[in-house]
């Protein structure tokens, strides 16, 4: 009996030794041409075991049993690569893996389309990207400038005093688009007045733009689409300093400084990125009447994003920023605000912070995430004329977003694999605004609780079908709102994708960004108020697109054709209600009968190696109300067209590496003619104007000398709007209509810049 136990024990030791001997390692390097790629992800497809490359581009996958495997190598901005590997009773050292740059970002992981990580080429709805490469090519220092170079997006300036910017997506004004920061709808109506100019590009990793309805995922106001600002997360240790010194019209300074640093631990389990921004811009007067067409601007911001991975399967992320901004337009800039003929001025202090926790199951097929985000905004304002001592105002806004989400790969059934996304989200916003001179006192709390569910069904690598819906309880609506969604993508060939979709959306009858801005017309204010019986506005959005992308050796070619059709019911319209208070003009928001927006966008792209790239977008659309909007008491409007919405608009961006150290960049924005309201004051009576078209063109040259050090330095110079395409019929003096402004946001502007990176 004793010998029997000894034999069993010996067999156990032999078996254990055999099992132990079957676990081996896979080693290798990931390179971009001859340079190591730091932070690339290397994963065994069959077991999901992964590793991250170090500063030499090297990786090690340990404890791999003998078998045949496929390694998937991926890195942001590069095409993923699959490498077959056979482990046969010994450690394996594979040949260097050279990855190719993904010029069209086809394999960029995006989250906005499905609220889950998915390759852009696999997303069932088109996702456009704006990143640091685009911002640098176009010399965009703030978000508002960079968004101009995206299909079917347009940035418009709505006030020649303070420079109130608005985003139009698919021809719909800003309140129809949901702005997210790291996927959270914390961007509120008060911040929306000037917020697009308050977010510097150096705190942004990328911007994901999804056009067409998104209420099924994000709730109220995601009607025209969603803009998701993904803030920078550290990848490798680095520091940088950038500066842009510009002269508006050759004489008015606009100075910008950006600094930042990334710190990452050796094991890639913790990191932090810090960024700072400062801008100092003087006012600019276009016509010598003493009143500004571009306001004075002082802005300083600081942003931080940090992560920590307690285990291989969990991650904690903190992100936050603080923004200070002072802006002022009008005249007599050397005098206090209440001693001017006209002044529009705001001072913003914004504090934002958020925390996210993510947990994967052991097999990484399921992820649970929970998040909290809070933002506090203080704004002091002055909107007044003729030395009005009472035109000072103050506003406070507190926003909170919290939620939970489950994402799971449910396996293969019903002919395909399924990825389920389910969760709930609570969003609360309290906004208080006091403008005593205009008898405007707002204290509004908007609460929204949403539950969403969607399934992405992938069939044989050919079809991606998304079905989902969200149910929202909104305190300003009073009844549950159901927002369904359906999208289908069919891969006709590996290079050709066809997508079609439907989404229903809504806008709640709350205070919007334009309500919190008071335009001066004829020395008086123009105030917007909601009608007492305002009801929600609903939308039905249909979209279709054909996307072709092909990598052919040194060449990359692509083109996207997409169409959109959106029907609006109970549409919000603004109608003049005469003079109120101290002679101020009242515009009341009411429910109209309906509207239709339809159009098509073409977006070709071409790239040759890293030497040459060109992309442009051109949108043709028709936007009409069911009935003409009577915007003026003295002018009968017979046109059904949307105001301030051109039927054609577009952009282009061209970059050419003319020499090893020299890059030339050309870019431009085209804005077609449109109809625009022009209120009486400087002119004798209200007029509905038809504006001319504009083609703004920019030129930039980058020079990057080769240094024998770890420091990279780039010098740049150029001219923005070098053809000086700019409005030439501004009103003059104190009686002007400050809202009668259209076309490019700046005249010819010269700039010099420098970028140092360590």
| 375 and 414 part of one domain | yes
Higher pLDDT, 8 or 535: 535
Residue 82 sits in a domain whose CATH number is: 2.60.40.10
pLDDT band at 298 (very low <50, low <70, confident <90, very high): very high
**pLDDT value at residue 261:** 96
| 571 and 671 part of one domain | yes
Residue 378 lies in a domain: yes
d(CA 342, CA 388): 9
d(CA 399, CA 377): 9
Q: What percent of the chain has pLDDT over 90?
A: 64
Residue ending a domain, among 98, 129, 155, is 98
- Reduced to 3 states (helix: H, G, I; strand: E, B; else coil), residue 716 is strand
Which residues, 6+ apart, have CB-to-CB distance to 275 below 8 Å?
200, 202, 203, 232, 258, 259, 260, 302, 303, 304
d(CA 180, CA 226): 7
Would the pLDDT of 11 be above 50?
A: no
Query: What does the DSSP 8-state code read for residue 581?
Result: T
Residue 575 lies in a domain: yes
Residue 492 sits in a domain whose CATH number is: 2.40.170.20
**pLDDT value at residue 581:** 66
| 128 and 85 part of one domain | no
Query: What does the DSSP 8-state code read for residue 402?
Result: E
Dihedral (C-alpha) 703, 132, 202, 98: value to the nearest 10 degrees?
-90
Would the pLDDT of 707 be above 90?
A: no
User: What average pLDDT does the segment 626-644 reach?
Assistant: 91
**pLDDT value at residue 3:** 54
Q: How many domains does the chain have?
A: 2
The answer to which of 77-91, 377-391, 459-473 has the lowest mean pLDDT is 77-91
Residue 104 lies in a domain: no
Dihedral (C-alpha) 631, 632, 633, 637: value to the nearest 10 degrees?
-70
Higher pLDDT, 18 or 515: 515
| 203 and 67 part of one domain | no
d(CA 52, CA 581): 65
d(CA 524, CA 329): 15
**pLDDT value at residue 12:** 43
| 75 and 184 part of one domain | no
Q: Over the stretch 38-66, which tens digit does the pLDDT of each residue have?
A: 888 898 888 878 888 988 899 998 888 88
**pLDDT value at residue 62:** 86
Residue 257 lies in a domain: yes
Residue 160 lies in a domain: yes
Q: Over the stretch 199-215, which tens digit does the pLDDT of each residue have?
A: 999 999 999 999 987 77
CB 719 within 8 A of CB 742: no
User: What average pLDDT does the segment 424-450 reach?
Assistant: 92
d(CA 281, CA 294): 9
Higher pLDDT, 355 or 494: 355
d(CA 112, CA 115): 5
| 592 and 624 part of one domain | yes
Residue 62 lies in a domain: yes
Task: Give the residues across from 84 on adjacent strands.
Answer: 70
Q: Over the stretch 310-369, which tens digit does the pLDDT of each residue have?
A: 998 999 999 999 999 999 999 999 999 999 999 999 999 999 999 999 999 988 899 999
Average pLDDT over all residues of the chain: 91
Please state the pTM of the whole predicted model: 0.90
CB 742 within 8 A of CB 729: no
Measure Cα distances from 746 to 188, 253, 284, 589, 749 in Å: 27, 13, 10, 30, 7
User: What average pLDDT does the segment 430-445 reach?
Assistant: 90
| 59 and 208 part of one domain | no
User: What average pLDDT does the segment 725-745 reach?
Assistant: 94
Residue ending a domain, among 79, 98, 117, is 98
**pLDDT value at residue 212:** 82
| 376 and 250 part of one domain | yes
Residue 607 lies in a domain: yes
Higher pLDDT, 449 or 578: 449
Q: What is the DSSP string of 238-295?
A: EEEEEEEEEEETTTEEEEEEEEEEEEE-TTSSEEEEEEEEEEEE--B-SSSSS--SB-
Which residues, 6+ apart, have CB-to-CB distance to 468 below 8 Å?
216, 217, 421, 452, 453, 454, 455, 484, 485, 486
| 372 and 408 part of one domain | yes
Give the range of the structural domain holding residue 18, as residue numbers without chain letter: 2-98
- The b/e string for 714-733 (b: 16+ C-beta within 10 A; e otherwise) is bebbbbbbbeebbbeebbee
Would the pLDDT of 290 be above 60?
A: yes
Residue 103 lies in a domain: no
Euclidean distance between the first and the last CA atom of the chain, given in angstroms as a whole number: 72
Q: Over the stretch 110-164, which tens digit does the pLDDT of each residue have?
A: 898 888 988 888 999 999 999 999 999 999 999 999 999 999 999 998 899 988 8
User: What average pLDDT does the segment 547-557 reach?
Assistant: 91
| 86 and 132 part of one domain | no
**pLDDT value at residue 9:** 46
- Compute the C-alpha angle 132/279/390, nearest 5°: 130
| 574 and 535 part of one domain | yes
Would the pLDDT of 289 be above 80?
A: yes
**pLDDT value at residue 17:** 43
Residue ending a domain, among 98, 125, 151, is 98
**pLDDT value at residue 394:** 95
Which residues, 6+ apart, have CB-to-CB distance to 61 below 8 Å?
25, 26, 27, 42, 44, 49, 50, 51, 71
User: What average pLDDT does the segment 235-248 reach?
Assistant: 95
* Among the listed residues 237, 273, 247, the one whose alpha carbon sits nearest the alpha carbon of residue 258: 273
| 353 and 396 part of one domain | yes
Would the pLDDT of 400 be above 90?
A: yes
């Amino acid at each position: 009996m004793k010998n029997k136990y000894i034999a069993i024990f010996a067999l156990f030791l032999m078996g254990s030794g055999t099992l132990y001997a079957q676990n081996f390692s896979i080693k290798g390097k990931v390179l971009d041409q001859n340079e190591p790629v730091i932070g690339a992800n290397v994963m065994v497809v069959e077991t999901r075991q992964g590793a991250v490359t170090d500063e030499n581009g090297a990786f090690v996958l340990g404890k791999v049993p003998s078998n045949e495997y496929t390694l998937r190598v991926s890195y942001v901005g590069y095409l993923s690569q699959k490498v077959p590997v056979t482990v046969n009773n010994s450690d394996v050292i594979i040949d260097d893996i050279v990855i190719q740059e993904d010029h069209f970002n086809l394999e960029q992981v995006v989250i906005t389309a499905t609220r889950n990580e998915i390759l852009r080429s696999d997303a069932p709805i088109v996702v456009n990207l704006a990143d640091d490469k685009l911002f640098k090519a176009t010399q965009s220092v703030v978000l508002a400038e960079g968004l101009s170079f995206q299909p079917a997006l347009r940035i418009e300036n709505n006030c020649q005093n303070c420079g109130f910017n608005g985003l139009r997506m698919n021809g719909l004004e800003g309140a129809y688009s949901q702005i997210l920061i790291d996927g959270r709808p914390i961007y509120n109506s008060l911040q929306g007045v000037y917020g697009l100019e308050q977010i510097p590009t150096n705190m942004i990793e990328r911007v994901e733009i999804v056009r067409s309805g998104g209420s099924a995922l994000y709730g109220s106001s995601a009607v025209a689409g969603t803009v998701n600002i993904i803030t920078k997360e550290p990848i490798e240790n680095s520091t940088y300093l950038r500066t842009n010194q510009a002269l508006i019209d050759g004489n008015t300074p606009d100075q910008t400084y950006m600094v930042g640093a990334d710190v990452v631990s050796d094991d890639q389990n913790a990191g932090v990125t810090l960024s700072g921004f400062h801008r100092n811009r003087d006012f600019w007067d276009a016509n010598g009447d003493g009143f500004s067409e571009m306001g004075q601007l002082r802005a300083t911001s600081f942003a931080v994003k940090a992560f920590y991975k307690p285990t291989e399967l969990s991650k904690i992320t903190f992100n936050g920023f603080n923004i200070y901004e002072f802006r002022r337009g009008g005249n007599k800039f050397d005098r206090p605000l209440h001693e001017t003929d006209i002044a529009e001025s705001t001072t913003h202090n914004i504090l934002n912070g958020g925390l996210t926790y993510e947990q994967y199951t052991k097999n990484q097929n399921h992820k649970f995430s929970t998040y909290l985000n809070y933002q506090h905004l203080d704004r002091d304002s002055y909107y007044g004329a003729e030395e009005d001592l009472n035109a000072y105002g103050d506003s406070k806004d507190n926003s909170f977003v919290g939620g939970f989400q489950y994402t799971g790969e449910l396996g293969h059934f019903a002919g395909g694999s399924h990825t389920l996304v389910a969760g709930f989200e609570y969003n609360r916003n309290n906004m208080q605004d006091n403008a005593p001179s205009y008898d405007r006192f707002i204290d509004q709390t908007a609460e929204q609780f949403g539950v969403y569910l969607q399934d992405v069904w992938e069939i044989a690598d050919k079809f991606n079908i998304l079905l989902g819906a969200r149910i929202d309880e909104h305190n300003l609506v009073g009844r549950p709102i159901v927002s369904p969604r359906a999208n289908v993508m069919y891969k006709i060939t590996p290079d050709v994708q066809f997508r079609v979709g439907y989404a229903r959306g809504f806008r709640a009858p709350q205070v919007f960004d334009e309500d919190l801005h008071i335009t001066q017309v004829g020395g008086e204010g123009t105030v917007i108020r909601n009608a007492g019986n305002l009801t929600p506005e609903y939308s039905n959005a249909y979209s279709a697109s054909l996307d072709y992308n092909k990598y052919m050796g040194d060449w990359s070619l692509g083109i996207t054709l997409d169409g959109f059709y959106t029907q609006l019911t109970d549409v919000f319209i603004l109608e003049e209600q005469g003079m109120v208070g101290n002679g101020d003009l009242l515009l009341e928001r009411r429910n109209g009968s309906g509207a239709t927006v339809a159009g098509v966008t073409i977006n070709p792209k071409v790239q040759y190696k890293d030497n040459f790239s060109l992309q442009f977008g051109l949108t043709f659309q028709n936007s009409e109300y069911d009935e003409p909007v009577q915007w003026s008491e003295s002018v009968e409007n017979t046109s059904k067209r949307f105001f301030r919405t051109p039927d054609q608009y577009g952009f282009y961006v061209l970059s050419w590496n003319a020499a090893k150290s020299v890059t030339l960049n050309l870019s431009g924005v085209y804005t077609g003619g449109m109809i625009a309201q022009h209120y009486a004051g400087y002119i004798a009576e209200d007029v509905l104007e038809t504006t001319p078209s504009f083609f703004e063109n920019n030129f930039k040259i980058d020079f990057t000398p080769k240094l024998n050090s770890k420091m990279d330095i780039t010098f740049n110079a150029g001219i923005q709007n070098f053809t000086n395409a700019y409005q030439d019929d501004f009103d003059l003096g104190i009686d002007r209509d400050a809202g009668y402004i259209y076309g490019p946001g700046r005249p010819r502007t010269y700039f010099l810049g420098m970028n140092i990176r360590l």
